[in-house]
Structure 1
């Protein structure tokens, strides 16, 4: 609260009333009662600004909290602690206990606004808005409040009925995207390929006005089948000497200049390793740009191992290795690494990246380590994006003059780096709009290890054979520091290659169920227009 709010406004320090979690446990009960009495002495709360946890907690009122609960000590849910792990440099450093304002105090506020961001909050937001009011989801108590508002981004709101399936609750303006979303939803709901949907299927599932506008199920089905079929291509850089009017990418120029932007030094192969390899194999001038060093995600144990290897070889840098090892042994909790340790972690990730892209045929000279300054704090919390960050991206784009840019459109990574890196690319593109070459550049967004595009959002789908899936796996496995002990993997305990393969296979299965050809796996992309 101090870092993100109080240090930036003119509030007197004596007016800040965050519960004090440094007091001893035998003082907590009295302290909490005094806290509530102080609120009452001011006539209660006029305005309450809330977040929401994936358990449905408001404040830290975890599942099971009573509607009449007051300020008190609570034990944090395991999911809440997991979500906080990035802020505490690992799960082991996250507190197990917290003091929270009670549900009753919150609900007594005259005005409540709850903020919710990101797709991970979507299921709990849906229950909060549309589910039963119950103690297992404390946020659902807000349904009883006379003046409560939820402010959500698109991803957090995506499972609420009027956003997920608006045709079920209101009259719709049938844009092409909404039509696509509705027909794919219908196909999944009735478990039929698109070409087998009937007039009855549309009418019985709330889509009668769509079929009235489209003329018949036959017309709608053929149109949608063709749209989806045309997203599939084995030529992500465009197919030479072919009609490109129905393909996601242009046939010309036959050999394109490509930049693959990767926020961390493994997102490229995790998210689009098959497409990456295909672009190289098909003769395009492919460049990969690692936007950050990724050093924060290398464990101390990994550094210790490399230092011992170096010392065992008899390298003259024994003094440096000794300094690094001594620093790691003295390090406590979330202490910031000394510069030498951070440098070593950066080098580990660089060399893993080089090995990975070599395995798919890329030259070292086409690999760029941008080390954007916003990331280099030595801490989980990063600096805001700055002019230097944007200029680094601008300079690379101007140098290469790409026909294609691939960028991470996945905003669900646990510590927000993808979002900042994407923002830098978007701002760079805005600055480059006057350049003639940029008019010939297509921007394709991929998603990472946490979340995939919905089928209705996909503009290009690149299928992979079993051999290509294996090649992608091998490229991911060169990132050994991220293999067995991932620092920031979220609640998914699987290694990244496992997540990527399952996600790609699931996309292929969805296409197949809709009536498309059966593939081993598919990588998906959405085009960004700027």
Structure 2
């Protein structure tokens, strides 16, 4: 292959653009494209070693990140004849203790995603042993290191990155020269793994992992990271100072490392997040808003007090040159933000709506709120939900899934005991119910982590969440006739890993939309949901609307608003409608969230935020209002934010 020289000016521009980055970074539009390229790199290594009659020694990672890489390697084997006969593998880590046959074991993972589909020799596969007696672990770890050396050392080590900054299971505090050893897992790591184990309490507290020093010995290091969930830690790893608090920063000291990212994981790197600091920009309206808000927050000055000197001293002189005086830019951004604020989320009757986020007509709208789980509606937009009802709109809520995997087992027994006592108090025969209860209790007593519940238990968990959702919606003022439970089939697997979406899910959604014919649809746009349900539910509604648009005239007049709040909030420069809440409305929203008793105190899947959902929601709503205030707007108690989605 002929290498075409890169022009000097292009190389200089790239160096300037990436000057904050302390290690090589390659960014792809999507994880799939990146995975294909990484798999091709591994395949070339294997083939090159085959031609030399040598073994290719690979260090492999687990988790969701490398799955597409392994799928492409399997395809290359099955369709293009790539042989793994000369490949020796060493996995980074394994939970401890862990049976190799357990669904959560990395032995199971690697065989399901790679080893069972290729021609690798079983004796060439090495994965840390999670069944060892405690006294045998240290000697085993030493032998693992020796086996890597005897194989000739790692040619290429595939890595992921955890949100603690760990590589392998080298958590914060790990030493840069550490070897293979037994470690204690960070609480955030265990929370992130809770979905695979049916709750954090079932996640092992320890793991066996290759050390940073072991990883450094590999001749090539390729770290993969996808999605916005990893953007913050990627920025620290790539641009931050080397620190044991973020073990991935040690990779800055390696001469042979490359970070391979998708666009979402790279989003907080300086060249993407604040590009005006490193290069000339194409100043779109969205980028101007982002830059001016950034400047205001960086300097601690309201927008209308920013000066030309402020712009010039902070990498934004080009914007003033292109767009005119700083004060004119300030006024334009201030006015835009002011116009996003409305106390009328369904539109204000009889008002000039040219500068308002929602239309004035029709005065009374049909509003349909889609809630992925049975509590996302009140957690994320409870104040707006109540406001729409108070202002006389015909509001409907659709609970897309039963949420039955997120109920504690002891709640099932508690509700069953209540039902049995109720039967007895009414003089009815409770023997059949008692038999079901005893069977449930026996099952729960021997239940394994993430084991699928019996249908009876799943039903009770669904009923618990359904009753809570009804209570929350009723508290908001909604009549029972406007409460819809879809129980979309993709979710009803009984597992934390759900079934693929089918036309049944989309058809059920289309039928509901056709029946209501809403003027407004509210959708969860919070794709940071660690369980992945929000994005799936969003895509189902999006596809339903696309299909209906071809045949249903009302769809042209249907506006779609995305909400967040359960996990993250929209950045201010993206917000298109901000609904202020009074202190009384904040209290009403809190009371609606309290109706979801099974999710109170400690939910089954809390994600990376240990606070209760109502606390998270109030903090985010207060913070949104405070951000507007810091920029120079009125000082509201709280705000719920929305972004319009154009389909």
Instruction: Confirm or deny a common fold (TM above 0.5).
Output: yes
Q: 2:525 aligned to 409, 423, 429, which one?
A: 409
Q: 1:253 aligned to 362, 368, 378, which one?
A: 362
Structure 1 residue 379, shift from structure 2 partner: 2.5
Instruction: Tell me the residue number matched to 2:476.
Output: 360
Over the residues paired in the alignment, what is the CA RMSD in angstroms?
A: 2.1
Distance 1:29 1:5 in 2: 24
Instruction: Tell me the residue number matched to 1:462.
Output: 579
Distance 1:505 1:325 in 2: 47
Structure 1 residue 292, shift from structure 2 partner: 0.7
Instruction: Tell me the residue number matched to 1:121.
Output: 230
Equivalent residues of 2:420, 2:433 under 8 A apart: no
Equivalent residues of 2:107, 2:127 under 8 A apart: no
Equivalent residues of 1:324, 1:340 under 8 A apart: no
Give 3-state SS (helix, strand or coil) of 1:428's partner. helix
Q: 2:315 aligned to 206, 211, 235, which one?
A: 206
Instruction: Tell me the residue number matched to 1:398.
Output: 514
Instruction: Tell me the residue number matched to 1:219.
Output: 328
Matched, 1:369 2:478: no
Unaligned runs of 5+ in 2: 1-105
Instruction: Tell me the residue number matched to 2:17.
Output: none
Q: 2:405 aligned to 275, 296, 317, which one?
A: 296
Q: 1:88 aligned to 188, 191, 197, which one?
A: 197
Instruction: Tell me the residue number matched to 1:507.
Output: 624
Give 3-state SS (helix, strand or coil) of 1:69's partner. coil
Structure 1 residue 147, shift from structure 2 partner: 4.2
Distance 1:470 1:74 in 2: 44
Counterpart mapping for 1:228-243 below 5 A: 228-243=337-352
Q: 1:440 aligned to 549, 557, 563, which one?
A: 557
Structure 1 residue 272, shift from structure 2 partner: 0.3
TM-score (norm. length: structure 2): 0.78
Distance 1:430 1:70 in 2: 54
Instruction: Tell me the residue number matched to 1:156.
Output: 265
Distance 1:146 1:428 in 2: 50
Matched, 1:452 2:574: no
Structure 1 residue 285, shift from structure 2 partner: 2.1
Give 3-state SS (helix, strand or coil) of 2:432's partner. helix
Distance 2:410 2:628 in 1: 42
With over 3 angstroms needed to count, the CA separation of the structure-2 counterparts of 1:151 and 1:406, relative to structure 1, is farther
Instruction: Tell me the residue number matched to 1:389.
Output: 505
Distance 1:214 1:425 in 2: 39
Counterpart mapping for 1:28-43 below 5 A: 28-43=137-152
Give 3-state SS (helix, strand or coil) of 1:255's partner. coil
Give 3-state SS (helix, strand or coil) of 1:485's partner. coil
With over 3 angstroms needed to count, the CA separation of the structure-2 counterparts of 1:387 and 1:106, relative to structure 1, is farther
Matched, 1:320 2:425: no
Rg: which structure is higher?
2
Distance 1:207 1:102 in 2: 44
Distance 2:432 2:182 in 1: 49
Instruction: Tell me the residue number matched to 2:467.
Output: 351
With over 3 angstroms needed to count, the CA separation of the structure-2 counterparts of 1:317 and 1:245, relative to structure 1, is farther
Structure 1 residue 318, shift from structure 2 partner: 4.4
Equivalent residues of 1:307, 1:325 under 8 A apart: no
Equivalent residues of 2:191, 2:606 under 8 A apart: no
Matched, 1:7 2:112: yes
Structure 1 residue 380, shift from structure 2 partner: 2.1
Q: 1:493 aligned to 582, 588, 610, which one?
A: 610
Distance 1:83 1:238 in 2: 40
Q: Deviation per CA, 1:284-339: give whole Å up to 9, x if none.
A: 22111111101111112222221122122225454234423442353434233211
Matched, 1:380 2:496: yes
Distance 1:397 1:2 in 2: 45
Instruction: Tell me the residue number matched to 1:332.
Output: 447
Equivalent residues of 1:324, 1:341 under 8 A apart: no
Greater CA drift, 153-162 or 232-241: 153-162
Distance 2:499 2:156 in 1: 30
Q: 1:516 aligned to 633, 640, 643, which one?
A: 633
Equivalent residues of 1:300, 1:328 under 8 A apart: no
Distance 1:317 1:233 in 2: 54
Q: Deviation per CA, 1:243-300: give whole Å up to 9, x if none.
A: 2111111222222222111011010001001111121222222111111101111112
With over 3 angstroms needed to count, the CA separation of the structure-2 counterparts of 1:52 and 1:258, relative to structure 1, is same
With over 3 angstroms needed to count, the CA separation of the structure-2 counterparts of 1:44 and 1:432, relative to structure 1, is farther
Equivalent residues of 1:121, 1:156 under 8 A apart: yes
Give 3-state SS (helix, strand or coil) of 2:412's partner. helix
Give 3-state SS (helix, strand or coil) of 2:549's partner. coil
